[in-house]
Amino acid sequence: MKIRKLGCLGIFLAAAISIAGCSNTVNTDVTATYEQEDAENAVAENDDNICGRSVAGFVIEKNDSKDSEKRAMYPYVVKAPSSIWFLAADDIELMGEEAFFAGLEEVLSMVDLDFTDAREALKDYINKDVASVEIYTDFCNKAGISANAGAYYNSVSNFIKLFYDWDQAKYSLLHEYCALPY
């Protein structure tokens, strides 16, 4: 009889622990869902402030990449004639929206002219149609190479990554652009 009582008590305790564990799991999932919704709402609200804004005559667009990870990391895109800029959300937060876009404005106003001049100077040595290069901001220095360079050109994927800040970008961009495989 004692064994049966302990067995029943054990079952009740196991059930209570199980239910408690399940309720914690449900609460955790619900909390995570609310946190994700809050983050998505904040991004959507920020999108309204950023998307459609003009910078150096170019419009900031929402990144519509099929790659959800890329969209999350680089939610904004600026398309210039010779380059497509992917703007990191972390970099905007790091510098502050006003400073980030002021720096982008200054760099964009110079870069497209510099890239056009570079293509003109090299016209006898390059193909007529040079593909637009993708440029990614990485001022939070997430890439390992950021410790050794102001910028980096990846010839396999045809992109430039910018490290540190806009001042460094001014010095590095033309150098990296001239490394493109013409």
pLDDT digits (tens, 9 = 90+) for 146-176: 567 788 888 888 899 998 889 888 888 888 8
**Per-residue pLDDT reduced to its tens digit, 54-106:** 888 889 999 999 999 999 999 999 998 888 999 999 999 999 999 999 999 99
Q: How many domains does the chain have?
A: 2
In a domain, 13, yes or no: yes
| In a shared domain, residues 82 and 7 | no
Which residues face 134 on adjacent strands?
84, 159
| In a shared domain, residues 41 and 61 | no
In a domain, 182, yes or no: no
In a domain, 32, yes or no: yes
| In a shared domain, residues 139 and 163 | yes
What pTM value is reported for the model? Answer: 0.69
Residue 140 per-residue DSSP state: T
| In a shared domain, residues 111 and 169 | yes
| In a shared domain, residues 86 and 162 | yes
In a domain, 70, yes or no: yes
Please give the angle made by the CA atoms of 58, 101 and 118, to the nearest 5 degrees. Answer: 55
Q: Which domain holds residue 14?
A: 1-50
